[in-house]
Amino acid sequence: MAVRPTGFDTTIAELVWRTRYRRTGEEGIEDTWRRVAKSIAAVEPADRDAWEARFYHALAGFRFLPGGRILAGAGASQRVTLFNCFVMGVVPDDMAGIFDALKEGALTLQQGGGVGYDFSTLRPAGLRAERIGGIASGPVSFMHIWDAMCATLRSTGARRGAMMGTLRCDHPDIEEFIDAKRDPRALRHFNVSVLVTDAFMDAVRRGGDWPLVFPLDGIRGANRHRYPEQVLRTDPATGREVPCAIVRRVDAGALWDRLMRAAYETAEPGVLFIDRINALNNLNHREHIIASNPCGEIPLPAYGACNLGSVNLVAFVRDAFTPQASLDLPGIAALVDTAVRMLDDVIDASPFPLPAQAAQARGSRRIGLGVTGLADALILLGLDYGSEAARALAAAAMRTLCHAAYRASVALARERGPFPFFDRDRFLAAPFVQALPQDLRAAIAAHGIRNSHLTAIAPTGTISLLADNVSSGIEPVFAFECRRLVRDPDNGEQWHELEDSALRRWREAGRAGPRPAFVDARRLDPESHLLMQAAVQPFVDQAISKTINVPENIPFEAFQGIYRRAYALGLKGCTTFRPNPVTGAVLEDAGMAHCCAVEPEYEAT
């Protein structure tokens, strides 16, 4: 197939570019790459032309795919953030603080950043507000206000908003939160996840009661006499163990069953294993992670930000569809060296909606470098996604990326200094850092490191379409030929015919007959999804956006076993999707009347 004049092989890629990323005067994707490379290189203290050329080379051929906010906003005339998403500050448990938090979220969404909030700090419904004599309405009621705010911004023509809302599994309003999205009209601008603790998983395993609690400091006056029982639990605002009042008790198994039933029937809430997330955080000595970004790949502290980019593995397959097919690991490592510097420069090139976000981003200098196109790369290499060989290849690719990223960050620290929050001994004591190669740990000890975190795997929905429809993130191919619902600039929606990149390449190569390794999501059992996620998790210092697609007829017992297995495998979270009438469809398989795949409710990546 001849290359289109704008630099694309597919109509959908050109459409995505024109509607999402093209700026006035740009005739093709190469112009977009030049704009982005020039804008990011402008913060380099020296040799800007040379770095612009290196950044452009990394982008060329869709080898490195920065997050959508970078592609859309770098060098643009509008003042927009280059960060995909933010976790916002702690929501205070008083009316003035709540609406201050709402305002901060509105300002962030207005500039193009998605937002994540933990609502566990808000007192449960039914508690009396001592100062004014009113009755607390609970966190879910305030989430509806956020949802209306996001809808209002969207109606003004602002970029489609994305929000994540979380609640701890021991909050007294957890049941209302779990069921909140059963109403197909409710909280449509939110993704929601339950913060599941190790103690709760143990209680589910053992059986028995599960106390629902709220910090004693938040229960004042006469309310304290209503709840005489106390227990030490985590303060959602600080992460410290504090005395909490036991508001009521529920059966742990029944609560787990309710969570699983909601996920089974509505695809939400997701589950974040929050104790594991905090324990494995490279900065666990100084910060408390309270929520994640809307797709879950970046768990963050208050005012933390997502600075994302993905290596397109398809671009590094050599001799595709032949016995000699291989993945160019040295080439990936060389690209990562440039990608890390580019994402580090984004921190200095980007405006921020709020000063607190700038302070957090510049203090930790977090970046989130990952991969996309894994499933298509496996097909080009002749490997079945569900095989042990495929998992070994994925692990090798992510190990190469991770170690190259940490080495590049050490080199940047020698040149520019470590990130301001760096504490050498405490950083080296973090579990993820302890698992790095010894020579790399020695280099960190000697020179520091420029970025506190370096790896994450995003869903890459839109940027994978931009790269001529390679498979997204580490997901299997949903369907090799399908129709996808795509939003246009006027907020309309149209279905577009899609052909997966690997299938297109197979056909262009003149291949015929059986197609080895062409495995789609419906041919994989949940265990294959989980094992792939577990294979790459050891090389991801943040988290992985991964959806386990399951058939509509999966038995409920087997469905909830997926989450138990995810916990047992050491994963940081779990999200499933079973076709249901609540969420509707984004994708339709050409061979099926109706089938769905979970897609992020925003267009940032």
Catalytic residue numbers, as ranges: 293, 295, 297
Q: What are the angstrom distances between the C-alpha of 502 and each of 312, 375, 474, 519?
A: 13, 9, 15, 11
Report which secondary-structure segment, H or E, holds 139. helix 139-155
- The position carrying tokens 């999966």 is 554
Cβ(486)–Cβ(15) below 8 Å:
yes
Cβ(172)–Cβ(162) below 8 Å:
no
List beta partners, residue 271.
194, 574
The CA distance from 12 to 9, in Å, is 9
The neighbour count for residue 444, using CB atoms within 10 Å, is: 21
SS3 517: coil
- Could you tell me the two tokens for 358? 């700038």
Identify whether 269 is preceded by a cis peptide bond (ω within 30 of 0).
yes
**What are the b/e assignments for 374-412, b being 16+ CB within 10 Å?**
bbbbbbbbebbbbeeebbebbbbbbebbbbbbbbbbbbb
The CA distance from 200 to 197, in Å, is 5
- Could you tell me the two tokens for 288? 């408390």
The neighbour count for residue 264, using CB atoms within 10 Å, is: 18
List beta partners, residue 57.
none
The CA distance from 539 to 569, in Å, is 14
SS3 87: strand
The neighbour count for residue 184, using CB atoms within 10 Å, is: 12
The CA distance from 360 to 373, in Å, is 31
The neighbour count for residue 214, using CB atoms within 10 Å, is: 28
Query: How far does CA 570 lie from the centroid of its chain?
Result: 18
Contacts of 267 (CB under 8 A, 6+ apart): 576, 577, 578, 580, 582, 583, 598
Closest CA to 350 of 579, 72, 136: 72
Closest CA to 300 of 83, 487, 112, 498: 83
Cβ(26)–Cβ(7) below 8 Å:
no
Report which secondary-structure segment, H or E, holds 368. strand 368-372
* Packing angle, helices 329-349 and 48-59, rounded to 10: 120
The CA distance from 42 to 46, in Å, is 9
Q: Exposed (0-12), middle (13-18) or buried (19+): which is 581, by Cβ within 10 Å?
A: exposed
Residue type, 384: D
Q: What are the angstrom distances between the C-alpha of 485 and each of 21, 372, 373, 584?
A: 18, 21, 20, 11
